[in-house]
Amino acid sequence: MPSRLVVLASGSGSNLQAVLDHGVGHGNGSIDASVIGVVSNRIDAYALVRADEADIDTELVTLLDGEDRRDYDTRLAGAVASFEPDWVVLAGWMRLLTTNFLDHFPDRVINLHPALPRQLPGIRAIERAWSEALAGERSESGVMVHLVPDEGVDDGPVLASRAVPIDVSGTLEAFAATVHDAEHELLVETLTKLCASDSS
Ligand code: GAR
């Protein structure tokens, strides 16, 4: 049986698209899995449009006025659990998750981050890497996929990572595009391995 993936996305969803394009039933299908649900916290997330176009169920879980983040995470966990996922994939999910969410899916939540392990956690990692490179403080950054066991930010057991060199004679936009290409590939490769071992 193909693994069941639920993707959580807050933004454009280019990584969701990479997973969709390589899942079961697609020409490039290397991942023995189907995305069975896409959940977003933002009504304007283009990831929701991509899911609709691919005929995948979506769920919008927005933060209510004054809602505590742990209460939000309990509601979010309910929405995600209703899909009965094998893996929960954070692909541009821009909210920190508490144990109220994570404890529902032990060892089954993976996150993608546009930096190397233990470097540049948090938002705008690509822009921060670029600024450091311009200041002569770094010559490469990268991408990683890791498990999310606890409330650490962009941290946890690393499943895969890849360095991306920074060419400061180019532009931030060109560097960002290279990082995004690398993360699309790394996410697909990692899910291909994880889902293959699910079925073995
Ligand atoms: C990706 O670069 C992803 O690595 C990053 O958000 C972007 C989402 O792009 N995630 C983080 O920064 C997590 N801290 P997408 O919506 O086009 O997939």
Q: 90-140 pLDDT, tens per residue?
A: 999 999 999 999 999 999 999 999 999 999 999 999 999 999 999 999 999
pLDDT confidence of residue 199: 73
**Has 113 been annotated as catalytic?**
yes
CB distance 87 to 70 below 8 Å = no
Band (pLDDT 50/70/90 cuts) for residue 55 is very high
Stated pTM of the model: 0.96
pLDDT confidence of residue 27: 63
Q: Measured from the CB, is residue 30 less than 6 Å from ligand 1?
A: no
When the pLDDT of each residue in the chain is averaged and rounded to a whole number, the result is 96
Q: Measured from the CB, is residue 11 less than 6 Å from ligand 1?
A: yes
Q: 146-179 pLDDT, tens per residue?
A: 999 999 999 999 999 999 999 999 999 999 999 9
Rounded to an integer, what is the distance from CA 126 to the centroid of its chain?
15
**CA-derived radius of gyration, the chain:** 17
pLDDT confidence of residue 13: 98
pLDDT-above-90 percentage for the chain = 94
CB distance 111 to 93 below 8 Å = yes
Q: Provide the 10 A C-beta neighbour count for residue 28.
A: 10
Which protein residue's CA is at the shortest distance from atom 10 of ligand 1?
92
Residue 29 confidence (pLDDT) above 80: no
> Per the structure block, which two tokens stand in for 156?
């946890």
Q: What average pLDDT score do residues 13-25 get?
A: 93
Q: Where are the domains of the chain?
A: 3-199
Residue 31 confidence (pLDDT) above 80: yes
125 C-alpha to center of ligand 1: Å?
A: 9
Band (pLDDT 50/70/90 cuts) for residue 89 is very high
Q: Measured from the CB, is residue 12 less than 6 Å from ligand 1?
A: yes
Q: Who wins on pLDDT, 61 or 200? A: 61
From the list 22, 26, 104, 113, the catalytic residue is 113
Residue 66 confidence (pLDDT) above 80: yes
* 110 contacts: CB under 8 Å, gap ≥ 6: 87, 88, 89, 90, 145, 146, 147, 148, 159, 190, 194
CATH number at 3-199: 3.40.50.170
φ, ψ dihedrals at 193, nearest 5°? -70, -45
